[in-house]
Structures are given as structure tokens and as C-alpha cells.
Amino acid sequence: MLTLPNPQRVYLACGPTDLRKSIDALAALVQEGFGLDPFAPSLFVFCNRQRDKLKLLLWDHNGFWLLYRRLERGTFQWPTSEEATVTVSSRELRWLLDGLALEQRKAHPPLRPERII
């Protein structure tokens, strides 16, 4: 089974991206458009205008991974923001890939441990 490295951060490119772009063009967009390092242990996720396709860019010690996902039905619940990128957790990325919104109001809230005696 294919195992990808676990990224430290996940960045979503807000707004639509032309997914005809290749690895080099997406890496240039990360570096020059977003001011981020494409060689960092981070995952960069791009979505098209129709929100039914994604490209994920990830550096792995001597080369880039470029992953592509196309939905046959439905759309991704892509966030809108004034910022160029939004940082999300791996859990939130999984929600997006599963067709859910980032704000899961019914998700279990984090609990603070209480002392039981």
C-alpha cells in the first residue's frame, strides 16, 4: 500500500485555481503567490471553479507528489476567505474530502479532563 508522509500543515488555496497547472506551476504559485515554501513538509490543496476537482501538492524528500481527485457527483464544500490560503487540520481536510463543510457544528467538542475522585 502507498504511504505518503504526514504533513505538518495543510494549506487550502482560497478561490479557484486553474487545475491545468502542472507541478512546477503550482509550486511557483505556492512560493510567489502565497509566500510559502513549497519544499516545506506541508500539503497544499487547490480546487477548481466548479468545486468538483482537487489537486494536492506535497514535497517528499527528493520529489513532489501531485494527487488529483475528481468527484463524479456533487461538489466540495470549499471555504471562501479574503486570505490567499487557509490552514486546516488533517481532520478538517478529511471532512472536505468527504463532502462536508469545515465547520462541523455537530462534531464532538474537545473536552477538558476533569478530576474524578
Q: How many CA atoms lie within 13 A of 65 on its CB side?
A: 19
Q: What is the model's pLDDT at position 100?
A: 79
pLDDT at res. 106: 66
Residue-level pLDDT, tens digit, the chain, 117 residues: 677 778 889 999 998 999 999 999 999 999 999 999 999 999 999 999 999 999 999 999 899 999 999 999 889 988 887 788 899 988 889 888 888 777 766 666 666 777 766
Q: Which residues contact 87 (CB under 8 A, 6 or more apart)?
A: 9, 10, 11, 12
pTM: 0.83
Q: 41 to each of 23, 30, 36, 78, how far by Cα in Å?
A: 16, 13, 11, 23
Q: What is the pLDDT of residue 110?
A: 66
Pairing of strands 9-13, 42-47: parallel
The reported pLDDT for the residue numbered 83 is: 83
Residue type, 60: D
